[in-house]
Structure 1
Amino acid sequence: MKLTLATHPILAAWMLSLTATAANDSDSPTLPLSTDSAFNFQLLITLGDAITGGADIGPVLGAAKNIIPGDFSSFSEQFYALANDTKAQAADPENAYDGINVRETWFSASQYFRRADILLHNDWDNPLLTSLWAEQTAAFDAAIAALPIPGQRVRFPATKGSFTIDAIWYAASASPDAKLPTLVIGNGFDAAQEDSYHYFVASALARGWNCITYEGPGQPTIRREQELGFIPDWENVVTPVVDYVLSEKANVVDENRLALVGNSFGGYLAARAVAFESRISAAVLVDGVWDLYAGYSAQLTPDIRAIYEAGNYSQFDQELLSLRAAGKLSSDAAWGVDYGLWAFNTHSPSDFFDQTKKYQLESVVSQINVPVFVGSAQFENIFPGQPQQVKDALGDKATLYLFNGTAGYHCQTAAGQEMTRAVFAWLNKTL
């Protein structure tokens, strides 16, 4: 039987699991910035970074006013224009009279270039995927060069696997022997390590923590430069980062206060890594992820899921990709299809689902032997209930923290102050 939107309307929304979306207007704890939930969430991400100099509120709202809901090109074009305007301001010699001017303008330009990129992954050959990323990287590098202690971009090979890790080191002190607590920070499905600066690094530096952010296979820079999709054995990404920190930065790192942070899908990746990496002192999962396949496949109707689980992969792939090509998916679903296939480096939705089955914590959770902060969000729509599963499996080793109300979106988007207050209070108590 041929499946259609008429017979299976939930098919158009099943990929909601692949993106953090806003709640329905009636349930939303915040004023929606777009009638399109996917666009609303991206705008919340952008505004949330304003507290760390990564955006300016008025210009973002101005762009939002001119974005056509559901029109990916419109979203990209508005942020591309804003990025270029902000870049011109950053490049103006009069802007460079102090470091604050320089870094905030370049941080904002970098952010806007990233937003211009985020919805363009349907066409892997789109030259903007390369050019926008080069722009965001250059802008970000100009910003971190203007920090009181400049950030240092570093690359080093993985010890297992043929890939190179891209990382950025941030020192909290200029002292050559400060011995400070240190965060190792990783994102997940779609966010870049440049986003990690605004999510965690700025708050950590203000509290006297060194930081290193990193990207591995599947994440934005590595996916582009090395054409590698995600890998489940994430310890092969994190362990080389820890090696680097404890060797190259040994004089300024307190090895007894080395915490690993995983954001979004990174909540699984970090948990997996700490099961194998004994030098980590504590782990922070924002939010907790137990089983990737369970989270993603739960968005399917029983009939659609049965087609996949019966092994009818061609039918499954053809129907979904046909709906995407015809423009019959919601923005959430369309973006989820586009970005999921790109990040996992496959053109087959069924292959993507096959890959997600390799990302489950149950088989390794007993090997986690450090304190763990498990974030949970009131409006979590990707992995509802999974933070509790992580907490239950870890028992007394884990602290479950529920973020409610306006901090209740996936990963506390646009409530960064509340999120980092909770995380650093726990780290201070734990370490």
Structure 2
Amino acid sequence: MQDKEYSRREALRGAGMSGVGMALAMGASMPGLPVHAAGGEGAGKQWFELELMPDPILNQVLLFYLGAAWQKMSDIGECLETASRVDGADPYSWSREWQTTARRLVRTAGESRKGGHPISAGEADMRAANYFIAALHRHPDPWAHEVAALTREAEQAYRRALQDLPLGAEPVAIPYETTKLPGYFFAAPRKKRERAPLVIAFNGRDAWAEQCKYIAEAANARGMHCLIFDGPGQGKVIRLQGLPFRPDWENVVRPVVDFAVRMPGVDPNRIALMGLSMGGALAPRAAAFEHRLKLCIANPGVLNWRDVIRRFFEEALGSDMLALAERNPAAFDRRMKDVMANTPLIAWGVTDSMWKHGVRTPSALIADMNRYRAEDVVDRIRCRTLVMDGEMDEFSQARALFEKLRCPKDFILFTREETAMLHNQVGALAVSTQRSFDWIEAHI
């Protein structure tokens, strides 16, 4: 444990890198790699330190998309070639180059489909969908008109892929308040009238429902259905419906479970809820109030998302800045305006977070983050809970969550040896899937 804590501190230290740490927390929490890995003096470059992109956050995001090759949502050559065209001096270059690659694959898919090759068409469209999502992962202007258009292109490519590929999946619209949440139901092979368990999965700040395909396929291969969805603040919901994050995630999960238990073939007594990245904070919060769940999986376990964000702010700017935000919000906003003007990476991260949380100022963002805490409610969780952690996961509060739980509980620590020690086991989805689904199979 001492080595793990050391690595987390060292990841945010060093020459001029603390601001990158804050940008990591505010605007890139999904890949979440340490900026500098822990190691002895003179230690060699770590396998995940790509150093191919103009800033460390984009290196981390690139690794995430390289890792998607395991679920056939990317190809390594396509990712590296796209990355090689990105101009670090142009903030729109990342988005533009991924769009170029995505549209080339859409054309490829169309040619294959026209030639009577639906599998090839579906595989090309599946990668195209993911590359459109990549184009939006680091878009400099979330309010730009093209954001909605790119979102629709991603969704359309994914839906075409589902039609062509033998995945047994269909788009669904989940009733939620006065609107509907977009999702996909992956049905497990089953006998007529047979009911099967269901895994409900969702991501956090940055990844979309579509990128949970590997979870759905793992569930189906083990005889379970899977429902993946975007909630407020996520994926298509923030970009097309304008709904920001909310801390009371039980009010998101409850209508999803209501919808799920009415799906044909779903066993209402065997439902698992899995949250990834920031979802590792939202899933336990939901499970504290939604008692129809049999299992809950937090990857990684997070007790208070508020404290994750505050820690990165303190590392980057000092505790005095946080105190200023609470004492004098207007003065804090003026200071942050200067910081953001001089540090484009922080400007992007803070802007992206304000948009996803539906606030207009950095001080309002800090105030909103104060609502994202679950320490007072997680002792209400009744279902068996799996808390996942990684030796170098910068966003994990897994031990703190685990100790607060009063329900049946288990803990998985991913290690350097198995190359799964990073946030959400990026680059090691095979190991992540094997260990998490072994647990699900044993307890569902």
Question: Fold-level match, TM-score > 0.5?
Answer: yes
Contact 1:292 1:360 in 2 (8 A): yes
1:308 and 1:12 map into 2 onto residues whose CA distance is: 20
Which position in structure 1 is the counterpart of 2:305? Answer: 292
The match for 2:129 among 110, 117, 131 is 110
Which position in structure 1 is the counterpart of 2:156? Answer: 138
* Secondary structure, counterpart of 2:220 in structure 1: helix
* Secondary structure, counterpart of 1:60 in structure 2: helix
Which position in structure 2 is the counterpart of 1:5? Answer: none
1:191 CA drift (Å): 1.2
Which position in structure 2 is the counterpart of 1:412? Answer: 425
1:248 and 1:9 map into 2 onto residues whose CA distance is: 49
1:215 aligns with 2:234: no
Task: In structure 2, give the amino acid aligned to 1:348.
Answer: T
The match for 1:14 among 10, 18, 22 is 22
Aligned residues: 412
The match for 2:208 among 192, 214, 220 is 192
Which position in structure 2 is the counterpart of 1:44? Answer: 63
Distance 1:71 1:388, change over 3 A: farther
Contact 1:292 1:359 in 2 (8 A): yes
Unaligned runs of 5+ in 1: 1-7
The match for 2:282 among 247, 260, 269 is 269
Task: In structure 1, give the amino acid aligned to 2:126.
Answer: F
Task: In structure 2, give the amino acid aligned to 1:329.
Answer: T
Which position in structure 2 is the counterpart of 1:305? Answer: 322
Task: In structure 1, give the amino acid aligned to 2:203.
Answer: N
Question: Cα deviation per residue 1:359-400 (whole Å; 9 max; x = unaligned)?
Answer: 1111111110111111111111234xx110111111562212
1:73 aligns with 2:88: no
2:17 and 2:25 map into 1 onto residues whose CA distance is: 16
Q: Runs of 4 or more off by more than 6 Å in structure 1?
A: none
1:92 CA drift (Å): 0.7
1:87 CA drift (Å): 1.0
Task: In structure 2, give the amino acid aligned to 1:309.
Answer: E
Which position in structure 2 is the counterpart of 1:3? Answer: none
1:128 aligns with 2:128: no
Q: TM-score, normalised by structure 1?
A: 0.90
Q: Within 5 Å, which residues of 2 pair with 1:16-415?
A: 16-18=24-26, 19-20=28-29, 21-24=32-35, 27=38, 28-35=46-53, 36-69=55-88, 71-93=90-112, 97-120=116-139, 122-158=140-176, 161-173=177-189, 175-198=191-214, 200-249=215-264, 252-299=265-312, 300=314, 301-310=318-327, 312-324=328-340, 326=341, 328-329=342-343, 331=345, 333-383=346-396, 386-394=397-405, 397-405=408-416, 406-415=419-428
* Secondary structure, counterpart of 1:290 in structure 2: coil
Task: In structure 2, give the amino acid aligned to 1:391.
Answer: F
RMSD: 2.1
Unaligned runs of 5+ in 2: 1-15, 39-45
The percent of aligned pairs where both chains have the same amino acid is 28
Contact 1:192 1:221 in 2 (8 A): yes
